[in-house]
Structure 1
Amino acid sequence: MSLSKQLYIIIAFIFFIIFTGNFIISIKNTKEYLEVESQTKAQDTATSLGMSLRPLIKDKKDPEIESIIKAISNSGFYKEIRLEDSDYIINDYELLDATSTYKNDNWKIKKLFVESKFGYVEKIQSDYELSEQLLQLEDDSINSDSFDDFNVENFERYRYIPTDAYKNGGKIPFTLTITNENETKDIVVKLDIKKILLEEKRDIKFDSVPAWFIDLIPLELEEKFSEISDGWKKSAVIFVSPNPGEAYAKLFKQAKNSIIYAFIAFIISMIILFIFVQYLLRPLKRIESLAKSIALGKFETIDELPWTTEIKHVSIAMNDMSRKIEVIINKLNRNLQTLSEKLSQDELTKLPLKTTFETDMKQMFIQKGKGYILKIKINALSSFAKTHTNKEVNSFILEFTDEIKNVLKEKEDNKKFKFYRFFGSEFMLILEDCDYSCSEKICKNLKNSFNLLANKHKVTEIAHIGATPFNTYSTTPEMLQATNEAYEKAKLIGPNDYFIRDNNDLIRDMEEWRDLIFTIIENNSFEIEYINDTYCSKDEEILLMQEAFTSAKDKNNKNIPIGTFVSIAEKYEKIVDFDMAVISKVIDYMVINDIKHDIMINLSLNSIEDEEFISWLENKIFTNKNIASQLLFSVTAYAVIKDIKGFKNFCDKVHNVGAKIIVKRFESKFIPLDNIKDFNLDFIRLARDYTTDIYLDTSKQSFVESIQELANLLNIKVYCENVNNNKDYDMVKKIKIDGISR
């Protein structure tokens, strides 16, 4: 996960934690405030109502009481307003009226009681009786008869005290003893005693508040009350219950506003954070780019240092590392260049050695070159060495090479002539773009020069020359064999003489070759062997790679040299079809046999330059993507330099589909060591000359070791091939090459 994403996530998490905490605290405080406010308002209303109803409570059925309560209830701030009776008072009229038979004025209640399970009844002293008693206390001379003059209605009242079972009222049977002037009766009257005198309720409305919010945040609103007294006795209680609808509406609005504000603040904060992070990470992206450049061998530096202290220090360290690695690689390149020149150059004559000749021949095969190959060999050099000192022998060899160089210098276009020393007395010449007459003229000049040198040293013969035309469809060993045959014929002609083969000496007729190659490719009548098993050299011997080697036979059932086969296929534009057929066979083999190691497939330069082939290859690998990472496509080093741009394009396409690239027969002559970093390679496989007899040659040891160190810096693995000598194998393993084939 990128640093920017981690920063966004952690900042968002911190913001969420802070907002959640503040939100919960805010909602909790608002909830508590609304609860207190609602309950306080309810208590104030209950107290106010109690005071308003006190003058009216003597007559609990007074309609003005209902009017006052309804007026307050209609405001909508209260869920319920309830007036409850606390003192159950009944009078004679109510009792007699309930009988409907004895309610005329002639009947009077003489006695009243209820069963004990319902409670008991006590008579309430009337105001008249209370006044009479008070006056008698003040003046003993006043007697009861004095009140007869007052026209005061004698009205009897009773207080019903219920048991706990009937404290909330109900249908209570009262037993009456009533009398008139003529008779006395006992009757039972049932009165509906009501505890709730008056009740007003309002619906709780939550139109703007969702149900989940109400369930999530319950409001605890207690019912408030106020007692109403009639004189010294509590007569009734007024109850007021707050309406939670208004509190929930305010609370939900507060929560919604908080969330909206938090969301807007979060978006703004994240936008600011995004701008800041992009600005902050810009130097890190430059550092990442620098690190990738270093991995690819491009040692750049960060010129504009960031202002952040820590990142600035990292940038300075990266710059320092880039410079130091560049110095190390440049030093390695110089050492490798020196060692490469030493390995490819004869110490005495400073002429290129056989390995360079083979390399140049490969280039001619690739470029479809024309010209002649000459073999020149000093006669009886060993006999000359027996009668002369080493210094004299070396002087003679130098004089001999100078004579050849002088002949070559006589030509204006001398750069097209390449001169090599194989070993001891054997030399080779490549005459590029030279026809038969050109080669004949050079041979004649060399013969004349050798004759003069023979006279100088008073010998009969100095050397003989064998020449053969370059055959694009042959191989280097076949060309050497042809020059050797010409040389042997030259020896038969005369002293210091030469023999030149012409194009009629070609082994096969080209028409026959074309028909043969077409038949093999179209019928897939070739075999694939898996050779050059490459094992890990550092730990246990683990099989890393095998090379898919193609073999085909001619009409005589003899193996066709693969170089000849490829050259003719390229000439007649069948090489792309051939490479496709090989790749298909290899993939089928890997899938069927469940191969776990890499398989190297050799490709021609024509194929990697062909867009249709690359498109076909991408689709083929994508279809078999489970083995893509085991496909290792090989191109020779001398093919790479012919079309560097095309090779880079091919590498990119192959890497995009998950396959890998190896450059085989790697030689510093083809790919300069300071340019190896320009190629996005996975592997290089050294030319076998670098590891042949490496245990005897310290220059080879130093060269291979430097190659390994340079490749490690560039994340490239180094393999070597055909290390057959046990001492060579031990030496290569000591150098810790990544992979060795035997």
Structure 2
Amino acid sequence: MTLQRQLLIAISLLFLVVFLVVEGLSIVTTRNYLQQQLASHAQDAATTLSKSLETAMASKDRTLAEVEIASMFDRGYYQSMQVLDNQGQPFVGKELSSERTQAPLWLPGLLDMRLPAAEAFISSGWRQLGKVVVLSHPAYAYAYLWQSMKTIALWMTVMYLVVLALSMLMLRLILRPLEKIEGLARAVQDKRFEPIALQPRAPELQKVVTAMNQMAQRIAHVLDQERANAEQYRRAAFQDSVTGLENRQGFDLRLNQSLAQDERGDQTWLAVFELDGLKTLNQRQGYARGNDLLTQMARCLQQQLHPERDFAGRMGGAAIALVCTGVDAAQMQEKRRQWQQDLQQLVAAVSDSVQLSAAMLACAPGQHRKEILSQADLLLEQSRQQGQGKIMCAEEVPGARIVEGSQAWRLLIANALHENRWVLYTQPVVQLDSRQQTQHELYVRLLDERGSVLSAAEFMPMAVRHQLTAEIDQAVISLALQAIQAEPQRFKALAVNVSMASVSQPGFCLWLAQVCQAAAPLPVPLYLELSEFACVKQRAQSRQFFQMLRELGIGFGLDHVGLDPMALQLIRDNPPDYIKLDGSLIAQMAVQSDIFVHVEAMVRFAKSLDIPCIAQGIEDEALIALLGQAQVEAGQGYVFGMPEKLERRFQAYL
């Protein structure tokens, strides 16, 4: 229960006590007042009747006596009027039922109205003729008392609502710093450190807010410093010192990642630009002039690149390559025209000895890097032979030769979805020091009509082309949920990769929320993983997806981390539950010290956010000791176990 709610309840209870006290005092005071008034009223009536009944009693005229009594009794304010003779015997009288009242029936039982009978003697001279006994009717008193109670209750209720509204407003203003402090605490829990801008007026809260802000700023400064160090080591490992672009190694790693993980089906393009005669320019005008030309060329090329989706790198010597994604042929031709115009002007202004050769070609998802670079070399040679700085372009996608079989692939995947022909494999993730399993990663294979098992690398490009990734991810997640519910003792945690193409569809996120809510609570933690490549391309969408998973109680991990320059900022903005370092980095750690330093800095940055690091693709025992030096906690690879087939001892998801 929140502090604001507790304070409101306390205020309400206090107001209830005040209300009961005020109501009780009012009832007692009003009752006493009414009793006195009714007694006085009855006594006045008795005195008046004693005078008017003198003649009737002297002559023993009952009729006249009844008329005198009726004239006063019929007003309805009296419960009884009795006339007694001088012997004390009833002479005449009238009586009204006490049940008639406008107040609730329980009120007389709760508040007894004690009304004494009023008496007056009837006399003629010195002779006593009898007496009159008058008792006022309590119905009017109870009605007045009930009306008074309702009026007080109504006004007290109105006052309570007003006080409650004002209290809520005041508490909201007073407790706003506490809400900010709570928000900061939640942000720290989520590994985000944001200072509180609001400054409370209360000195006590001011001290708390100041202390929290100082703590958040110190931690944020440490994290920023760690990130800056890690980025510096990355630049040392993968950045060209002349142009500021990726060096050959960094470009090759990112190109491999782009070709392997382009999940959205966006067209990928490779362009290579080379300056022939740069060596002669260096000899004539110095290396500074040649480096300046390369820098200007890199700057000119980057003007047409998307800052998050695209990247460029120096391939060595005088060659610069770039990768563009998410653009069609018409857009790429416009870029080609602009590049050709700008670069020709740049080269012409430098020297006649320098010539531009360039190539541009479309890539297919899953195509190997060496095949693409070989085609680019061929186009570069054609451009060099033609001269005039023309950019040779090959728009045909290498995968176009299987377009006719595309529909067959679509039918194969659709049938697998309908018939639930999926084969599941799991590979363990273990602690490097204790070799204890921490989770299993789930892989999916497709079983075709002939019984052959197809890996995801074989059918996913066609699934992307035909927009079937969401259905596949739904099938895999459903099977994963069934697996951990059927055999919870088998897993400590289960991780499933999902495609950004699926996350981009609102229907998938809605389905995921419904399924996870229906399956909660899960006996085993479930983690969903997105690749670094996809998250950098779709940062806003990945942030929303991570937030949704957090609300659902589902963990999330970042896969294939460490190649993109924006990776550390991505982790800083959306801290995952763990990160998996890309296997290509792990493989190069043992042979290149700068990559080891880069990985070590990334791990140190992740540990400052309390994010575990998992190394992927460990195939050599010698790497384990090296990873331990880099403080990597866990690993995954053939050293710890091959992917094992998960027997389907549970029902189909359809």
- What TM-score do you get using the length of structure 1 for normalisation? 0.58
Mark the CA change 1:20 to 1:656 in structure 2 (over 3 Å): closer, same or farther: same
SS of the residue aligned with 1:615? helix
Match status 1:591 vs 2:482? yes
* Structure 2 CA distance for aligned equivalents of residues 47 and 472 of structure 1: 117
Pairs within 5 Å for 1:171-210: 195-204=89-98, 206=100, 208-210=102-104
Paired letter, 1:641: V
Pairs within 5 Å for 1:363-442: 363=258, 366=262, 368-370=268-270, 418-419=314-315
Paired-residue identity, %:
17
Q: What's 1:710 paired with?
A: 608
Q: What's 1:602 paired with?
A: 497
Pick aligned residue for 1:256 from 150, 159, 163:
150
SS of the residue aligned with 2:252? helix
Pick aligned residue for 1:267 from 157, 161, 166:
161
Q: What's 1:499 paired with?
A: none
* Structure 1 CA distance for aligned equivalents of residues 132 and 412 of structure 2: 114
Contact 1:637 1:671 in 2 (8 A): no
Mark the CA change 1:34 to 1:555 in structure 2 (over 3 Å): closer, same or farther: closer
Residue 21 (structure 1) shift: 1.5
Match status 1:222 vs 2:116? yes
Contact 1:43 1:240 in 2 (8 A): yes
Mark the CA change 1:564 to 1:49 in structure 2 (over 3 Å): closer, same or farther: closer
* Structure 2 CA distance for aligned equivalents of residues 706 and 276 of structure 1: 45
Q: What's 1:619 paired with?
A: 511
Match status 1:311 vs 2:205? yes
Pick aligned residue for 1:329 from 223, 230, 233:
223
* 211-220 vs 645-654, which moves further: 645-654
Residue 320 (structure 1) shift: 1.8
Mark the CA change 1:290 to 1:234 in structure 2 (over 3 Å): closer, same or farther: same
Pairs within 5 Å for 1:105-184: none
Mark the CA change 1:593 to 1:699 in structure 2 (over 3 Å): closer, same or farther: closer
Mark the CA change 1:726 to 1:220 in structure 2 (over 3 Å): closer, same or farther: farther
Q: What's 2:31 paired with?
A: 31
Residue 345 (structure 1) shift: 8.4
Paired letter, 2:604: S
Paired letter, 1:711: L
Deviations 1:238-294 (A, max 9, x none): 422221123223212321221222123223323333433343344445555555666
SS of the residue aligned with 2:416? coil
Q: What's 1:9 paired with?
A: 9
Contact 1:532 1:721 in 2 (8 A): no
Residue 649 (structure 1) shift: 5.1
Contact 1:641 1:670 in 2 (8 A): no
Structure 1 spans left out of the alignment, 5+ residues: 89-194, 374-402, 421-426, 434-468, 487-501
Mark the CA change 1:357 to 1:226 in structure 2 (over 3 Å): closer, same or farther: same
SS of the residue aligned with 2:201? coil
Contact 2:516 2:552 in 1 (8 A): no
Q: What's 2:644 paired with?
A: none
Q: What's 1:423 paired with?
A: none
* Structure 2 CA distance for aligned equivalents of residues 539 and 21 of structure 1: 69
Deviations 1:423-451 (A, max 9, x none): xxxx9x99668xxxxxxxxxxxxxxxxxx
Deviations 1:190-212 (A, max 9, x none): xxxxx322223245584543434
Pairs within 5 Å for 1:556-705: 562-563=456-457, 565-567=459-461, 570=464, 573-574=465-466, 576-588=467-479, 590-591=481-482, 594=485, 596=488, 599-609=494-504, 611=505, 614-619=506-511, 621-623=513-515, 625-627=517-519, 632-648=527-543, 650-651=545-546, 660-667=555-562, 669-679=564-574, 681-688=576-583, 699=597, 702-703=600-601, 705=603
Paired letter, 2:77: F
Residue 666 (structure 1) shift: 0.9
Q: What's 1:80 paired with?
A: 80
Residue 230 (structure 1) shift: 9.5
Residue 664 (structure 1) shift: 0.2
Paired letter, 2:605: I
Deviations 1:340-379 (A, max 9, x none): 45666899xx996867733342235546344799xxxxxx
Mark the CA change 1:196 to 1:581 in structure 2 (over 3 Å): closer, same or farther: same
- What TM-score do you get using the length of structure 2 for normalisation? 0.64
Contact 1:637 1:670 in 2 (8 A): no
Q: What's 1:521 paired with?
A: 413
Residue 531 (structure 1) shift: 2.1
Match status 1:532 vs 2:404? no
* Structure 1 CA distance for aligned equivalents of residues 94 and 512 of structure 2: 86
SS of the residue aligned with 2:609? helix
* Structure 2 CA distance for aligned equivalents of residues 645 and 41 of structure 1: 83
SS of the residue aligned with 1:325? helix
Contact 2:248 2:315 in 1 (8 A): no
Residue 328 (structure 1) shift: 1.5
Contact 1:330 1:674 in 2 (8 A): no
Paired letter, 2:93: E
Mark the CA change 1:691 to 1:353 in structure 2 (over 3 Å): closer, same or farther: same
Deviations 1:144-179 (A, max 9, x none): xxxxxxxxxxxxxxxxxxxxxxxxxxxxxxxxxxxx
What is the alpha-carbon root mean square deviation over aligned residues?
A: 5.4
SS of the residue aligned with 1:220? coil
SS of the residue aligned with 1:218? coil
Mark the CA change 1:579 to 1:241 in structure 2 (over 3 Å): closer, same or farther: closer
Mark the CA change 1:80 to 1:471 in structure 2 (over 3 Å): closer, same or farther: closer
Q: What's 1:400 paired with?
A: none
* Structure 1 CA distance for aligned equivalents of residues 76 and 599 of structure 2: 102
Contact 2:580 2:615 in 1 (8 A): yes
Contact 2:80 2:136 in 1 (8 A): yes
* Structure 1 CA distance for aligned equivalents of residues 411 and 444 of structure 2: 19
* Structure 2 CA distance for aligned equivalents of residues 689 and 86 of structure 1: 125
Q: What's 1:243 paired with?
A: 137
Paired letter, 1:580: E
The number of residue pairs the alignment matches comes to 538
Q: What's 2:22 paired with?
A: 22
Q: What's 1:394 paired with?
A: none
Q: What's 2:387 paired with?
A: none
Mark the CA change 1:739 to 1:198 in structure 2 (over 3 Å): closer, same or farther: farther
Pairs within 5 Å for 1:61-100: 69-74=69-74, 76-85=76-85, 87=87
Mark the CA change 1:198 to 1:700 in structure 2 (over 3 Å): closer, same or farther: same
Q: What's 1:171 paired with?
A: none
* Structure 1 CA distance for aligned equivalents of residues 74 and 399 of structure 2: 122
Residue 68 (structure 1) shift: 5.1
